[in-house]
Amino acid sequence: MSDDRKPRIEPYTAPAGGWGSVKSVVEILRREKVPVPSTVKELWRQNKPRGFTCVSCAWPQPGHPLMFEFCENGAKASAWELTSLRTTPEFFAQHTVTELRNWSDYELEQNGRLTQPMRYDRASDKYVPVVWEEAFREIGAELKKLAPKSVVFYASGRASLETSYLYALFARLYGNNNLPDSSNMCHEATGVALRQCIGTAVGTVVLDDFDKTDGIFFFGQNAGVNSPRMMHDLQKAAQRGVPIIVFNPVRERGLERFTNPQNPLEMLTGRETPLATQYHQVKTGGDIAAIAGLCKTLLALDDEALANGTPRVLDTDFIAAHTHGFDAFVAWVRAQSWDAIEADSGLPRAALEGAARVYARCNAVIGVYGMGLTQHVLGEYNIYMLANLLLMRGNIGKPGAGICPVRGHSNVQGQRTVGIADDPALVPLDRLAEQYGFEPPRERGLHTVEACKGVLDGSVHGFIGLGGNFLRAIPDQERVIAAWDKLRLTVQIATKLNRTHLVNGEVAYLLPCLGRIERVVENGKAQVLSTEDSTSCIHASVGKAEPASPDLLSETRIVAEMAKATLPPNPKVPWDTWENDYATIRDAIEQTYPDQFRDYNQRMWQPGGFHRPNSARERIWKTATGKANLIAPPALVATGFDDAPGRFRLMTMRSNDQFNTTVYGYDDRFRGIYGTRDVVMMHKDDIAQLGLREGQVVKLVSDAGDGIAREVGGLSVVAFDIPRGCIGGYYPECNPLIPLSHHTLFSMLPAAKSVPVRIVAEATG
Ligand SMILES: Nc1nc2c(c(=O)[nH]1)N[C@H]1C(S)=C(S)[C@@H](COP(=O)(O)OP(=O)(O)OC[C@H]3O[C@@H](n4cnc5c(=O)[nH]c(N)nc54)[C@H](O)[C@@H]3O)O[C@H]1N2
Ligand SMILES: Nc1nc2c(c(=O)[nH]1)N[C@H]1C(S)=C(S)[C@@H](COP(=O)(O)OP(=O)(O)OC[C@H]3O[C@@H](n4cnc5c(=O)[nH]c(N)nc54)[C@H](O)[C@@H]3O)O[C@H]1N2
Ligand SMILES: [Mo]
């Protein structure tokens, strides 16, 4: 496995997509030992009406899909789930949990799908098989003994709307709002910031807007890797001559040029579409300054237009009718000097003026963003700034324009829609109270960072994980792991073994579930699930593949059974009906959210799904002021710490060969890094200045100044095209370097894209 890897650094010259993509898919099909014909049959059904929603990213399904509506990374994610490899009770009999902790993330998951419910036996330090009934009985008995406020119900963003609704209801009936989710590490800043400035928690763009836009501004999102189906929409736009302006510290190949692997002519002729018309390598954490430069230029162009009597550059009608805080924001922009903007963005004034001129020429602009904006201490202000830029020219609430956060997990947005939220203000508690005849908890629950703190201070006693790899995804993981075995109860619902399952509470269960591609039959009837994508479209997802093992249960049934074993009977909460007929769960969801889910059971079959109402799209602003708010930031730099000699801004990145903590392989093809993830990417002048050389082994040491020692060693120095003072390392390997306290100001989202570190040469060099 990992042993025969030969690390190699070599620039990648090909476009994103193309033959490299095909090769990479063939490689994973081989490694997962999947029968190719049946896998191709499944891939054919991916993202189609009556097919299944891809388990990888949350990019929408078009109403008229391509023949194969999937991408390289979607195919990898499907192969990962359809694998013929199995992690059986025999496997667990052969390995102690302590021994498995020495396996890499790759090796653990590469071992294949879990097949049977398992219970951790502390005496032998092994997982032993258990029957489902007994597992549910003991979990229920344990939960009844624990204080409800001390139990955490975590969700990774993959489980369906149906399962998520039941899960959130279970937590509330049990007695808490402790519903942290992967969104707390991802786009929570989006929810908080967009509610403040435009009065919705989600983006305003739908797929159709990409056909109508005449400018795309792209901040900190790596579409070629993390939402590759979006490349088709970007390619179409580029071919129409739409300018695509990118702000990213790193030159991501997927944003530069693309060959569509599904277009035979392009593949055979090697034709590629250039994508970014301008590429600005902003400093990590420099987007507030960069956008301030764009806004400052717009004001200057508008001043000129006023003086010359030519058409205004600002959309003054929109600003007057729809916005609040415009004058204060303008005063702030005018007060920022070009010197400061250039220094803090790392971009020359002329480059920012050039980008702003393109923006001023476009009638309808989409602002796209991802983790490059959210995962900073001033993450919410990054988003306010992008919204400010869009609002200056009325680019929200008109065709072809809007703000487009690209969500992460395939149903992460949907989980929040149906109640997975630590903030009860986001949930119609009164309606739940009436529907189910109980008094829901009204106080805030724990989000991810607080849940970790609760484990550290001993106030959390139980943890249920609906998917995910919590202990690998969080910051400061070594500290949290060290406290984890004080928990009384840990329950993990999962498809594959990961590191989180190897750190257990006193009573610990590993419950294997069906994946989304697999057939779900309940009460003799095939069941359907549904999900919500990045553009708020909700569609059915039909799994048809043969389950990985006859002993797997659906996530929906697992949640319902745990709830039944824990809660007193309540005739208004029909768990039995729900787990036997998922359409009745959708009826319950519709009853809780009648405006959002009208005719749910019918409309989810519409090709492309049905769109949830979005007030900002209609220029109705559900904010405190009743208007769209322009909000000025407190600083030009989003990092939340000062630069200092020897201190670097570390951004933790995803490779092209992973899905979050799932490592598919060790090649980051587009970045030219092969066979290893143990690297630190640095500007060549920084390497020289520190007296290091390429290939030298170093360690990164936390420079958070909080007195806690954190380091990650064994990293080879790679010379990389990245701004000076900024360095890159991989997530999750670098997570031990992120202090739990290093998070956004309002949403407590770990600031994984600018972490203060120092670089220290290791003796072995
Ligand atoms: N194949 C695959 N698909 C995925 C995932 C995966 O791991 N693999 N993960 C899923 C999930 S949960 C999520 S949230 C999304 C994540 O998808 P993205 O939002 O694309 O997340 P990242 O790759 O972490 O970082 C995005 C980009 O931000 C840039 N960046 C870093 N710092 C800054 C900065 O300060 N400013 C700017 N402008 N850019 C910056 C990085 O160079 C990188 O290109 O993808 C989802 N889809
Ligand atoms: N340093 C750093 N840290 C980060 C980030 C970063 O950019 N940098 N990104 C953050 C982001 S955006 C996110 S979303 C989080 C991700 O955090 P999580 O969502 O917790 O992690 P994943 O890696 O997506 O979870 C992978 C596991 O999910 C399980 N799984 C897969 N499919 C299914 C299924 O269908 N059902 C069930 N029940 N289980 C399943 C498998 O067991 C697999 O091992 O990490 C965050 N952490
Ligand atoms: Mo995410």
- The pLDDT tens digits for 330-349 are 999 999 999 999 999 999 99
| Environment class of 608 (CB within 10 Å of its CB; exposed 0-12, middle 13-18, buried 19+) | buried
Residue type, 673: I
pLDDT given for residue 49 in this prediction: 82
> 86-126+136-186+411-597 sits in which CATH class?
alpha beta
The per-residue pLDDT for 142 is 98
499 pLDDT higher than 70: yes
Q: How many secondary structure helices (H) and strands (E) does the chain include? A: 31, 33
Spatial distance between the Cα atoms of 713 and 698, rounded to a whole number of angstroms? 6
Distance CA 217, CA 392 (A): 14
Backbone angles phi, psi at 757, to 5 degrees: -140, 160
Tokens of residue 52, six digits: 């299944």
Question: For residue 711, which of 720, 722, 703, 721 has the smallest C-alpha distance?
Answer: 703
Dist. CA 731 → ligand 2 center (Å): 11
For β-strands 402-405 and 365-369, DSSP reports them as parallel
User: What is the gyration radius of the CA atoms in the chain, in angstroms?
Assistant: 25
The pLDDT tens digits of the residues spanning 691-702 come to 999 999 999 999
Cα–Cα distance measured from residue 611 to residue 209, given in angstroms and rounded to the nearest whole number: 13
Contact 77, 55 (CB under 8 A): yes
Could you tell me if the CB of 247 is within 6 A of ligand 1? yes
Q: Please name which ligand lies nearest the alpha carbon of 554.
A: 2
- Beta pairing, strands 244-247 & 278-280: parallel
- The CA–CA distances, whole Å, from 294 to 7, 247, 358 equal 41, 12, 10
Q: How confident is the model at residue 765 (pLDDT cuts 50, 70, 90)?
A: very low
Eight-state DSSP code of residue 622: -
User: Would you say residue 193 has pLDDT above 70?
Assistant: yes
What is the per-residue DSSP string for 223-247?
HHHHSTTHHHHHHHHHHTT--EEEE
Q: Is 465 in the pocket of ligand 2 (CB under 6 A)?
A: no
Residue 490: predicted pLDDT:
98
Q: What is the pLDDT of residues 604-655, one digit of tens each?
A: 999 999 999 999 999 999 999 999 999 999 999 999 999 999 999 999 999 9
| Percentage of the chain modeled with pLDDT above 70 | 99
Q: Which amino acid is at 258?
A: F
pLDDT of residue 269: 82
**Closest residue (by CA) to atom 32 of ligand 1?**
372
The bridge status of strand 529-532 relative to strand 537-541 is antiparallel
Q: Kindly state if the Cβ of 527 falls inside 6 Å of ligand 1.
A: no
Please tell me the predicted confidence (pLDDT) of residue 427: 97
DSSP state of 353: H
Q: Is pLDDT at 2 greater than 60 in this prediction?
A: no
User: At 508, which amino acid appears?
Assistant: A
Mutate-to-test residue for ligand 1 from 21, 28, 57, highest number of ligand atoms within 8 A of CB: 57
* CA separation for the pair 18, 6 (Å, rounded): 24
User: Range with the lowest mean pLDDT among 70-79, 560-569, 578-587, 725-734?
Assistant: 70-79
Ligand 1 atom closest to 227 (CA)? 47
Residues 381 and 193: their CA atoms lie apart, in Å, by: 8
What mean pLDDT do residues 438-458 have? 98
Q: Is 374 in the pocket of ligand 2 (CB under 6 A)?
A: no
Q: How is the chain split into domains, by residue range?
A: 8-82, 86-126+136-186+411-597, 189-406, 648-761
pLDDT for the residue 381: 98
Cα separation, 107 vs 127, in Å, equals 18
| Residue nearest atom 33 in ligand 1 by C-alpha distance | 372
When pLDDT is averaged across residues 7-19 and rounded to a whole number, the result is 85
Q: Is 731 in the pocket of ligand 2 (CB under 6 A)?
A: yes
The rounded Å distance from CA 156 to ligand 2 centre is 6
Residue among 100, 111, 469 to mutate when testing ligand 2 (max atoms within 8 A of CB): 469
Provide the pLDDT for residue 65.
79
From CA 721, how far away is CA 758, in angstroms rounded? Answer: 19
648-761: what CATH class?
A: mainly beta
What is the CATH code of the structural domain delimited by 189-406? Answer: 3.40.228.10
Q: Tell me, what DSSP letter sits at residue 148? A: G
User: What is the per-residue pLDDT for 1?
Assistant: 40
- What H or E segment, with its residue span, contains residue 576? helix 575-580
Write down the residue that tokens 């529907």 correspond to: 435
Distance 183 CA to ligand 1 centre (A): 13
pLDDT at position 7 over 60: yes
Q: Is the CB–ligand 1 distance for residue 72 below 6 Å? A: no
| DSSP element (H, E) containing 681 | strand 679-682
SS3 of residue 185 by DSSP: helix
The Å distance, Cα 652 to ligand 1 centre, comes to 9
Mean pLDDT of the chain: 95
Half-sphere exposure for 439 (CA within 13 Å, toward CB)? 1
Q: Given a cut of 70, is residue 482 above it in pLDDT?
A: yes
| Ligand 2 proximity of 723 Cβ (cutoff 6 Å) | no
Average pLDDT over residues 123-144: 98
Q: Measuring CA to CA, which residue among 355, 357, 369, 365 is closest to residue 395?
A: 365
Q: Closest ligand 1 atom, CA of 247?
A: 38
Between CA 745 and CA 563 the distance in angstroms is 35
Q: Give the N- to C-terminal CA distance of the chain in Å, as an integer.
A: 25
The pLDDT tens digits of the residues spanning 225-273 come to: 999 999 999 999 999 999 999 999 999 998 998 888 878 778 778 888 8
pLDDT in the model for residue 30 = 87
pLDDT the model gives residue 764: 60
Give me the phi and psi of 733, to 5 degrees please: -55, -35
Hey, what are 163's tokens?
A: 């399962």
Choose among 527, 574, 585, 518: nearest CA to 547: 518
Residue nearest to atom 27 of ligand 2 (CA): 468
